Amino acid sequence: MKLQQKFFTAILLLCSAFSFAQTDSLDFKDGLFLPGKKYTMEGITTLMITKVYSNNAQTDSTKKETVLQMVITSGKISQKDSLFPISMKYLRFDELPFLQNAEIKGYCKPLKMPVFTEISIPSIKLNQEQSNDLINKMNDPHEMLNLLNNMQILPSKKIKIGDTISVVHPTNFPAGRYSKVVTDYVLREIKDGKAYFNVTRTQTTENLPNNITGEGTGSGKAVYDIANHAFLSVNIDGEAIYTYTDGMIKMHVTVSQTTVVEDDP
């Protein structure tokens, strides 16, 4: 597998994205980063896979936990062009350990999508062509959403208690295979500068190999820091069932994501 394919497979695996008086509405702003901040993120995914054969003669179970840790730092904003530098560094990447300490740099405007200009992977020496190719792909809007999926990018919308914000994450795979995850965030409370959401998630797939059919559902909670425009935590527990000719596969997934936002002088 080419380096570029390995890198974006890693990004997809992250896929398959912080005090006010209490009120009953929230003018939710999309966007990601503010200048002069440090975002320390950790994502833990626990996956239990159970395979049940059609004759019930045998059942196989496996359990796997993967951890992703990264730090994003944003510099001071320029008065000239309102831009600030930004750096994303992977501290731990269980799915692809060779990406540990990989760093992506670029620039950004407040609460806008970043533009990346350079990448370094200490375990691999990139030539200029490989580096340019990766940077070009990272700046593609579709790949950008995959890259920043853990930041929980939601659209701008004024909402009140009980309203829903929905996000669709479609993924196209080779040979016409397709997966779509719909995540609904229902605002249930605003208190002490934080917005609290109930979260539901559904996954559908099409054209899976070997006559496999399946779907998944999940639910959980999320906490959003209003001042810093960032989710402090997202916790989802879900299950997917896939059936095929010789039986079925049950997948139980627990996802826990946390972000600590600090001023970075």
The tens digit of pLDDT for each residue in 35-51 reads 999 999 999 999 998 88
Which token pair is 141? Answer: 């809007």
* Listed residue (167, 118, 171) closest to 142, CA to CA: 171
> Which residue range is the domain that position 167 belongs to?
3-17+22-263
119-175 pLDDT, tens digit per residue, is: 898 888 888 888 888 888 878 766 666 566 556 667 778 889 999 988 887 665 555
User: What pLDDT shows up at residue 21?
Assistant: 33
pLDDT for residue 84: 96
Contact 221, 188 (CB under 8 A): no
| Cα separation values, 44 from 90, 91, 92, 168, 251, Å | 14, 14, 11, 22, 16
Nearest to 4 by CA among 70, 71, 68, 96: 96
Q: Which helix (H) or strand (E) holds 130?
A: helix 128-138
**pTM listed for this prediction:** 0.80
Give CA separation, 186 vs 165, 223, 230, 239, in Å.
7, 11, 16, 20
Q: Could you give the CA distance from residue 252 to residue 123 in angstroms, rounded to a whole number?
A: 33
- The total domain count for the chain is 1
pLDDT of residue 171: 62
Contact 240, 214 (CB under 8 A): yes
pLDDT under 70: residue ranges of the chain: 1-24, 28-31, 56-58, 141-153, 170-178, 207-210, 265
Question: How close are the terminal C-alpha atoms of the chain, in Å?
Answer: 41
For 31, half-sphere exposure in the C-beta direction (CA atoms, 13 angstrom radius) is 18
* Structure confidence at residue 20 (pLDDT): 30
154, 166 contact by CB (below 8 A): no
Reduced to 3 states (helix: H, G, I; strand: E, B; else coil), residue 131 is helix
- Rounded CA separation 35/20 (Å): 21
Q: What is the pLDDT of residue 12?
A: 42
The answer to whether 126 touches 3, Cβ cutoff 8 Å, is yes
Q: How much of the chain is helix, strand and coil, in % rounded to 5?
A: 15, 55, 30
179: tokens are 């997966």
What pLDDT, on a 0 to 100 scale, did the predictor assign at position 140? 78
